[in-house]
Amino acid sequence: MKKLYSLLTVALLTLSSSSWADEAAIKKALSEFMPEAKVDSISPSEIKGLYEVVVGASIFYASEDGKYLIQGQLYDAFAKENLTENRLSGMRKQALDKVGEHNMITFKAPNAKYQVSVFTDIDCGYCRKLHAEIDQYMAKGISVRYLFFPRAGKGSESYAKAVSVWCADDRQKALTAAKKGESVATKQCSNPVDDHMNLGEAFGMSGTPMIVTQKGNVLPGYVPAEQLVKVLGSE
């Protein structure tokens, strides 16, 4: 991400300082420095002369002449609202909807009231603690959708376990066994693990588990079922 920020800054600095460049000009500038970067939208922010630039699941703010780029949180002091986080939560929700539940391992509550998406590492201690209490979450009406984020990275033992769990005949059973430290038959198949990891990185993950609520808000780390239901109820 640091590379992305620096490249974005360089790209925007190449734009004309006398007038605000349009979206096509920014895309062109970025493509010269980082072909994989994609500007999704450019729009006026709540501050006059400052523009919101959306790149994937990240938000930047640019001066109207394109010379300055800001990475940070924009607040409405009067309303006491984090405007940046409000936008990001909506973007996270859309990104998860795009992944689709068919590309997650879901434990559905019998009488579901809430739904969370959890980025998990099979070998992470608090991830295992969360899953050991999966029945408590479901009893509270919380359905849990799992996405994989092996922190050791692609090619690691945790990554191989994630792929094997996904490729198992019974994914729920395989995930539960793996979380208990039991061996799971090694398998290979088409899987969404890389997509899960890319999405987690785009969300700015700093550790696992990471819980994303149905409204797109992030809760870093393990949250007990009783506490989580209160958070979800107050959204």
DSSP result, 39-77: EEEEEE-SSTTEEEEEETTEEEEEETTS--EE-S--EET
124 is catalytic: yes
CA distances to 79, 136, 186 from 166, in Å: 44, 24, 10
List Cα–Cα distances, 214 to 9, 60, 84, 233, in angstroms. Answer: 33, 24, 18, 11
Tokens of 204: 């700015």
pLDDT tens digits, residue range 25-71?
555 555 554 566 677 788 888 888 788 888 777 888 877 766 677 78
Contact present, 199 and 95 (Cβ < 8 Å): yes
Q: Which two tokens stand for residue 146?
A: 């799992």
Among candidate residues 123, 127, 128, 145, the one labeled active-site is 127
Q: pLDDT band for 24, please (50, 70, 90 cuts).
A: low
State both tokens at 221: 């780390």
pTM of the model: 0.78
| Percent above pLDDT 70 for the chain | 83
- pLDDT of the residue at 116: 98
pLDDT of res. 57: 74
| pLDDT score at 153 | 93
Catalytic status, residue 121: yes
The catalytic position among 92, 123, 124, 145 is: 124
> Does the active-site annotation cover 65?
no
| Residue 69 CB coordination number (10 Å) | 19
Give residue 15's pLDDT band: very low, low, confident or very high (50, 70, 90).
very low
Taking only the tens place, the pLDDT of each residue in 196-219 is: 999 999 898 889 999 999 999 999
Annotated catalytic residue: which of 121, 123, 128, 145? 121
CA distance 148 to 16: 42
Q: Check: CB of residue 215 under 8 Å from CB of residue 192.
A: no
Please confirm, yes or no, whether 151 is among the known catalytic residues.
Answer: yes
Catalytic residue (choose from 40, 87, 151, 171): 151
Per-residue HEC secondary structure of 69-137 comes to EECCCCEECCCCEEHHHHHHHHHHHHHHHHHCHHHCEEECCCCCCEEEEEEECCCCHHHHHHHHCHHHH
Looking at residue 132, its pLDDT comes to: 97
Domains of the chain and CATH, by start? 2-82 (3.10.450.70), 100-233 (3.40.30.10)
